[in-house]
Structure 1
């Protein structure tokens, strides 16, 4: 279990993020058309897992915009936005913002991604949602960077995540 804060108040996760050097766990997440995506679908690509509580909050929205701009142009790299939002909300946001260089994936059906990656919030008014985190995987699915953002309202360290891909 890890501790982060929400507005300065302690909030706990159900576990720990995968550590640098770990092989990423497989996942089953819903795409915008409600079909299922797994880690294997992205084999051979570097991945930035942009994990957050909800697309409908300012910081989460900004992380999607920033990764869309900075990471999506990187060679052989895909940005996966992962939250418990319904796929329709993710799609609506990206369409309204003109964001086209990211893949939206939803953990709404089971929450298993949040549990498996140690980012499920276990208490506070956001219990059940994901903490803000970034996990970067190389083309072989190995974790090369992970960050659990200490304050949920803060943005992740974009430069550290992107530099891991250099």
Structure 2
């Protein structure tokens, strides 16, 4: 599978976009329902509400670790904001959805910090977002080797 990096950096934001021919509520369920997130990122458990913490299992990472994420904002079906807790890097993420003309756009934003290695983070999110796409359309699961280190130089070039 040939992959092309799609992310852009705008200030301290790494932004990746995917378009779906689907209703916004259906795409929202793909990024919030634990049974559906398990298909592309990992299942989660806990009391999901703004200000609360959930546990997320990162099934495609070595050892499938559980991590804690705080829900900073949840505005169905258009905005979900999360922050990692207890990870070596503190990540702040926004998933922003909009719908027009039968298509839903997912704008994924990773708020970069000086310690984030965009050369590693960018390819990782490309991989996970493509897993989201294939979980929805039934396509072949991508190979992480097509993303990293293949996309590393592209992403490092965005911050120079």
TM-score (normalised: structure 2):
0.32
Q: For the pair shown, which has the larger CA radius of gyration, 1 or 2? A: 2
* Structure of greater relative contact order (alpha carbons < 8 Å, 6+ residues apart): 1
